[in-house]
Structure 1
Amino acid sequence: MKLVYVFDAYCGWSYGFAPTLAEVTRRHPGLPVEVVSGGLFTGARRVPIRQFGYVRGANAKISELTGVPFGKGYESLIADGSFVMDSEAAARGVAALRQLAPDRGVELTEALQVAFYVDGRSMSDPDTYRRLAAEHGLDGDALVAAFEGPAARTAAATDFRRSRELGVEGFPTLLAVDGDRATVLAVGHADAEAIDRRLR
């Protein structure tokens, strides 16, 4: 059995779920976790953040329920309103991190979300990955090359397809997958205790 975590790096609820997922992986160190990008802001949804009027209210709710902070850098992006969340670029970043550090998916995707939701760094900017590499002991040039390379683009498309094939309709979704059988453990919000109960 393994866990499959379908999320979007630009999804606030996924950011709020990151500490729960980290706790679940601490409790079950032998349980592999596959991290899959879902593709929330692609196509017609790739628009300036000001067009999503619910963001501030949603963030307040996320912070209240999960305790995650939203930093000044991120708040500046929201206030300006022109920033465009591009989930395809974020998925390429996640794929690049998986390529360089396949066993650190949970940790590094959380770090990528912190870079956005706390520091306001774009997941489309190679410099974001260079900084992330420096902070987490990775080769910055290799990470940027992976982010910009064709393999990451292919991996992003594969992730979006896998999300659809798994029937995921909301982010984040945590699944327990055993062979051909997938069991939903959480959608949106849950604590580690609830997930443990469902795992048992």
Structure 2
Amino acid sequence: MNRPFFTVLILFFMTPLSAQNLTAPEGAFCDPETGLCTPAPLAQSDEKVPFRDDVEIIYIGDPMCSWCWGISPALNRLERAATTNGIPYRTVLGGLRPDNSQVWDEAFRNFLRHHWKEVNERSGQPFGYDLFDQEAFSYNTEPSSRAVVTARTMNPEVESRFFELTQYHFYVLNKDPKLATFYEPICKELGLDFVRFSELFASEEMVTATMKDFQLNRQWGVRGYPTVIFRKGDQLYAIARGFSEFERMWGAVEELVK
């Protein structure tokens, strides 16, 4: 049964999430206290998108959001628990920095290196640091998001794993996700036709589909990544905004399904 989509939806926060300071300090790329990365401004869309199911878990993240890499193991567990309990789970791409405006200077490299170490210390997720030896790099997160949307289009069942492998190849191996060749080993591992993937990845169709994800999560009122939502009918409940553990998220889900 399709439900109507309201142009403005309020995110209802599960206690004690509402008590947190969820706004990153002015000028900050990501907030180490909340584990929340704030996105760049983006033009809004009034397109209505109907909901498909009565309940679902929605993860909003960006492959080049470091706290999204930090929360990845907890999300793996959350998706498995959702599947086991018959709750649909889906991903919406955030659009953290969907442009080339970030200057790759020494100050930004030093900030990012320090931030990655903070995520590593809190989450235990591995990081490589060879990226910071590069004199030039464009921190544009649109291509990696578009790659995930492309994988979703080809085979929705591999989307979550494709997202995670994209993070691994960027954060640990420090490869450049703007290049189509970046995704060749990922496609091979997941059984996706890389030639077809490359064609779709470069298409306007995928650019448009990716932008729809970016606009949709902003339309919902999402202001940082990672964000995890439990939707019940037409109400959206944020069960995580920023870094969180599986037990906390799943505990919120159990409360909401009662």
TM-score, normalised via structure 1 length: 0.92
Deviation of 1:48 after TM superposition, in Å, equals 2.1
Instruction: Give matches, 1:44-59, under 5 Å.
Output: 45-48=101-104, 50-52=106-108, 53-59=110-116
The structure 2 residue matched to 1:184, chosen from 231, 238, 251, is 238
What CA distance in whole angstroms lies between the structure 1 residues aligned with 2:89 and 2:106? 34
Shift of the 154–51 alpha-carbon distance from structure 1 to 2, 3 Å rule, reads farther
May I ask how many residue pairs the two structures share in their alignment?
Answer: 197
Q: What's 2:145 paired with?
A: 91
1:42-121 matches, cutoff 5 A? 42-43=98-99, 45-48=101-104, 50-52=106-108, 53-71=110-128, 75-121=129-175
CA separation in 1, counterparts of 2:152 and 2:244? 25
The correspondence of residues 26-45 of structure 1 with structure 2, limited to 5 A, is 26-29=80-83, 30-43=86-99, 45=101
- Deviation at residue 15 of structure 1 after TM alignment: 0.8
- Which whole-Å deviations, capped at 9, do the CAs of 1:9-43 have from their partners, x for residues lacking one? 11100111111100111222132222111111134
Match 1:144 to one of 190, 194, 198? 198
After TM superposition, give the deviation of residue 179 of structure 1 in Å. Answer: 2.6
Q: How does 1:157-196 map to 2 (within 5 A)?
A: 157-196=211-250
- 8 Å CA contact 1:170–1:188 kept in 2: the answer is yes
Query: CA shift at 1:63, angstroms?
Result: 0.9
Q: Which has the larger radius of gyration?
A: 2
Opposite residue 127 of structure 2, the aligned amino acid is F
Kindly report the root-mean-square deviation, in angstroms, between the aligned alpha carbons of the 2 structures.
1.6
Q: Kindly provide the amino acid, as one letter, of the partner of residue 94 in structure 2.
A: G
Counterparts of 1:2 and 1:57 in 2: how far apart (Å)?
Answer: 36
Whole-Å separation in 2 of the counterparts to 1:123 and 1:103: 21
The aligned counterpart of 1:126 is 180
Deviation at 1:80, TM superposition (A): 2.2
Deviation at 1:50, TM superposition (A): 4.2
8 Å CA contact retained: 1:3, 1:174: yes
Letter in 1 for 2:122: L
Q: Which runs of 5+ in 2 are unaligned?
A: 1-54
- In structure 1, give the amino acid aligned to 2:123: T
Q: How far apart in 1 are the matches of 2:199 and 2:206?
A: 10
C-alpha distance 116-190 of structure 1, shift in aligned 2 (>3 A): same
Q: How much does 1:81 deviate?
A: 4.6
**Identical-residue share of aligned pairs (%):** 28
User: Structure 1 residues 176 and 48 mapped into 2: Cα distance closer, same or farther (>3 Å)?
Assistant: same
Q: What is aligned with 2:40?
A: none
> Closer, same or farther in 2 for the Cα pair 1:92/1:44, shift >3 Å?
closer
CA contact (8 A) 1:116 1:122 kept: yes
**What is the letter of the counterpart of residue 70 of structure 2?**
G
